[in-house]
Amino acid sequence: MFSSSILLQILACALYNNWWPMLSALMYVVVPMPCLFFGGGSTQFLISRDGGGWMDAAKFLTGASAVGSIAIPIILRHADLIQTGAMFIEFVSFFIFVCTVMCYHHASLDDEW
């Protein structure tokens, strides 16, 4: 699923002969970083009510980078740097990426593996 998300990201750039949409691929790298640095590589802290300075900062950074993944194509379209079709392909790519993360999170919660 992650590979198809990256493929759609590249197609949004290649089909419209404009590489500005690849800017939102940077956010795909930034989204899992708070989990790696502050959550110990686990996604458990995202659903817990326990907090602390670092846990709250990790939740905020995860949310901000997820919103940035949606906002970047919208801002690029508003500035007429990309076309509408590229923006919608970016949204589909982000949706597949989020589904991939949710599947990983669900699989990591199962103790039967």
Q: Where are the beta strands (DSSP E) in the chain?
A: none
Run means of pLDDT, 10 residues per run, the chain, 113 residues: 91 92 85 76 64 76 87 94 94 91 77 58
Please report where in the chains the tokens 């039967």 appear, as a residue: 112
What's the confidence (pLDDT) of residue 42? 62
Cβ proximity of 87 and 73 under 8 Å: yes
* Residue 36 CB neighbours (<10 A): 11
Q: Is 59 helix (H, G, I), strand (E, B) or coil?
A: helix
Residue 93 has what pLDDT? 93
Helix 2-14 and helix 84-109, axial crossing angle in degrees, nearest 10: 170
pTM listed for this prediction:
0.80
